[in-house]
Each structure stands twice: as structure tokens, then as C-alpha cells.
């Protein structure tokens, strides 16, 4: 029988895609989630005897210690994700995004592997034309970024771990999010037909949520040779400015109009390009292009309404 995996926040945007894939691969999976968004994203997995679901808070030491002891690997996905949400609830951000990770590290044994998703927003503002790789100094500019960087440092220090510096995710998930940049812009293109861009030259990297899930499984399959290191995870052909992203969307939605405002600022000041060469050298290869995601989102937006899905 395959290993046992504990996934905190397993009913979230990434977890709702990852958990079914883990079950398909034969892993025994325990999910701890507080279901704060009233999501029903794992209902179609409940038939699987390899799945255990626990409704609980990742800051609850009694719950974590009970379910942690049986795990071979821990995926700490539970997180207040994104700068706006963390700014809205800074105490929750610190206790969930950092202190809950420290709790897991305190309680786990050295035999238990950790694969931790952080964010490449830790790079903050890169140098124009220069790729950020895993040796680039981390200079986060948001509370969210700072907490994730601090948590990553703790995870790597404790050993027997891998950290994944994820690009901005996109694509349909059973626990959908519309506040992610690609998902948001495609929604606007489909429904509003226009968007006003602030600081449209700011660049970042992107990755499909299903490729994020596959990156976790890739790390599981290659844990011994990959452990002890951080890895950027993104689409190497998708280091794009917001203006360039809109141009890609317009290729599929021709009546989409986007204008750059000369007045106003983007509260998210991230601006960098990222090298994903390190994880690619281990054999990981994303399967979904940005164009694939834009096409998928258009289909999904015939089903959902905006007020159902957001973090903020």
C-alpha cells in the first residue's frame, strides 16, 4: 500500500485538484480543512475509502497531533492566500500562514517528509531583464510574501523537506477562485468586455492549477533526490506583463478591450520574471499552456457566478 499523506487546507483551490489526483495514484489521504468558504469541493471523493476528512483548524494542536502521527508526508496547504486577504486579517495570516507551519514542524518526526507550497512573490521586485532563480535574494513586499518566506525558511531548516515557489495559479478548480489574476481578467473579458490596467508593465509568472498538483506528485516520486531545496514552479513561456496577459486573452476573446490608466497604482507591486529551469531539470514538465487555461475558464464561466468564488 502507498504512503499516507496529510493535506491541510485540502479543500482549497489547489487541494481540491490535488487530493483527487493523490487518491487516483493510490495514496491514503487525510484532509484537515475548516471549510471557511462553505465549499463542497471534495464531495465526489467521499466514496473513496482511502480518504479521511477532518473538519478542523490547523492551529488546533490537539487535532494536528492526532492526525500528523500517521502521515508519511505532510502537505501544509492551509493558508490565507494573497496580499489583500492577509492585509485584511493580519493576525489570522500570521497564525495560519506561519505559526501553524511551525506547529507542524514541532510535532512531526524527522522521518516525515514535508512538501510546502510557498510563492515566488517572495522575489518582490526583480531586476529588469534578469530572471529570478532559487539563489536570487528574497525581498517580499507584502505581509503575505513575508510570512511565506519566513515559513519556507523554517521548513527548509528542519530538513527532509521540499518547498515549491509557485507562480500565480490559474484554471478551473472545484473550489474556484476568481481573485487570481488570469482568472479575474478572463472573467472580466467574458462578462464585462473590458478592464482598466494599472501599472500594466508589471510582470509575473503563471502556472495552471493542475500542473501545480502534478508538481506535488512529481516531488513525491522524486523526494529523495529533490529534498532540501526550494524550486520555482511556473510556465517558462508565461513570464508576462499584465498588458501581455490581456493580449493573450484577446486572441480568444476578440471583443475584449483593455486600457492602461496613467493615474492610479496597483496595490500589488510584484514585478519580476522567473526561471523554472531547476525543477525542469528534475524531469517536471507542465502540461497546460496559458491558452489552454483561458479556453477552460471561458467554459467554466458559463456555469458559475462571481459572488460564489473569491477569497476576499
CATH at residue 60: 3.40.50.720
Closest CA to 142 of 98, 189, 85: 85
Residue 261 in any domain: the answer is no
- Please give the residue range of the domain that contains residue 117: 4-171+205-236+275-282
Top-confidence residue, 154 or 128: 154
In contact, 202 and 266? CB cutoff 8 Å: yes
pLDDT digits (tens, 9 = 90+) for 65-111: 999 999 999 999 999 999 999 999 999 999 999 999 999 999 999 99
Asked if residue 94 belongs to a domain, the reply is yes
Residue 258 forms part of a structural domain: no
What's the CA gap between 33 and 9, in Å, rounded?
5
Three-class SS state of 109: coil
User: Does 185 reside within a domain?
Assistant: no
Name the pTM for this structure. Answer: 0.95
* Confidence at residue 309, expressed as pLDDT on a 0 to 100 scale: 66
Flag whether pLDDT at 307 surpasses 70: no
Measured between alpha carbons, how far is 82 from 246 in angstroms, rounded to an integer? 21
Percent of the chain with pLDDT over 90: 88
Query: Tell me, what's the pLDDT at 305?
Result: 77
pLDDT higher than 90, residue 306: no
pLDDT tens digits, one per residue of 221-265 = 999 999 999 999 999 999 999 999 999 999 999 999 999 987 767
Total tally of structural domains belonging to the chain: 1
Q: Which of 179, 196, 192, 167 is nearest to 265 (CA)?
A: 196
Residue 312 has pLDDT above 60, yes or no: no
pLDDT digits (tens, 9 = 90+) for 108-137: 999 999 999 999 989 988 777 789 999 999
Question: Cα 32 to the chain's mean position, in Å?
Answer: 17
Q: Give a yes or no: residue 147 inside a domain.
A: yes
135/138 Cα distance (integer angstroms): 9
Q: Output Rg (C-alpha) for the chain, integer angstroms.
A: 19
Whole-angstrom distance, CA of residue 110 vs CA of residue 287: 33
Say what the pLDDT of residue 121 is: 87
CB 233 within 8 A of CB 288: no
Is residue 135 a part of any domain in this protein?
yes
pLDDT of residue 267: 64
Looking at the domain assignment, is residue 21 inside a domain?
yes
Residue environment code for 228-266, b if the CB has 16+ CB neighbours within 10 A, otherwise e: eebbbbbbbebbbbbeebbebbeeebeebebeeeeeeee
Grid coordinates representing 11 are 479543500
The C-alpha atoms of residue 91 and residue 94 are separated, in whole angstroms, by 5
Task: Say if residue 193's pLDDT is above 60.
Answer: yes
Amino acid at each position: 500500500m502507498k504512503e499516507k499523506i496529510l493535506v491541510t487546507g485540502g479543500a482549497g483551490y489547489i487541494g481540491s485538484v490535488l487530493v483527487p489526483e493523490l487518491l487516483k495514484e493510490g495514496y491514503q489521504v487525510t484532509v484537515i480543512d475548516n471549510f471557511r468558504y462553505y465549499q463542497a469541493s471534495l464531495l465526489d471523493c467521499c466514496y473513496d475509502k482511502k480518504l479521511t476528512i477532518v473538519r478542523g483548524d490547523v492551529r488546533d494542536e490537539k487535532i494536528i497531533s492526532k492526525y500528523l502521527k500517521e502521515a508519511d508526508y505532510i502537505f501544509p496547504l492551509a493558508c490565507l492566500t494573497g496580499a489583500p486577504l492577509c492585509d485584511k486579517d493580519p493576525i489570522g495570516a500570521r497564525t495560519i500562514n506561519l505559526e501553524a507551519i511551525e506547529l507542524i514542524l514541532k510535532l512531526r518526526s524527522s522521518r516525515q517528509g514535508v512538501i510546502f507550497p510557498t510563492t515566488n512573490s517572495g522575489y518582490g521586485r526583480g531586476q529588469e531583464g534578469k530572471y529570478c532563480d532559487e539563489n536570487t535574494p528574497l525581498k517580499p513586499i507584502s505581509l503575505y510574501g513575508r510570512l511565506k518566506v519566513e515559513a519556507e525558511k523554517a521548513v527548509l531548516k528542519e530538513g527532509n523537506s521540499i518547498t515549491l515557489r509557485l507562480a500565480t495559479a490559474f484554471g478551473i478548480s472545484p473550489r474556484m477562485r476568481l481573485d487570481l489574476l488570469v482568472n479575474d481578467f478572463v472573467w472580466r473579458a467574458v462578462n464585462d468586455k473590458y478592464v482598466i490596467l494599472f501599472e500594466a508593465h508589471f510582470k509575473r509568472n503563471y502556472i495552471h492549477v493542475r500542473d501545480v498538483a502534478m508538481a506535488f506528485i512529481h516531488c513525491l516520486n522524486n523526494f529523495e533526490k529533490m529534498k532540501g531545496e526550494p524550486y520555482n514552479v511556473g510556465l517558462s513561456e508565461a513570464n508576462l506583463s499584465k498588458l501581455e496577459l490581456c493580449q493573450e486573452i484577446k486572441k480568444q476573446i476578440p471583443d475584449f478591450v483593455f486600457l492602461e490608466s496613467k493615474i492610479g497604482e496597483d496595490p500589488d507591486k510584484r514585478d519580476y520574471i522567473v526561471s523554472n529551469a531547476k525543477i525542469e531539470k528534475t524531469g517536471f514538465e507542465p502540461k497546460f499552456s496559458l491558452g489552454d487555461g483561458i479556453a477552460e475558464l471561458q467554459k467554466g464561466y458559463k456555469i458559475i457566478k462571481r459572488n460564489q468564488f473569491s477569497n476576499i
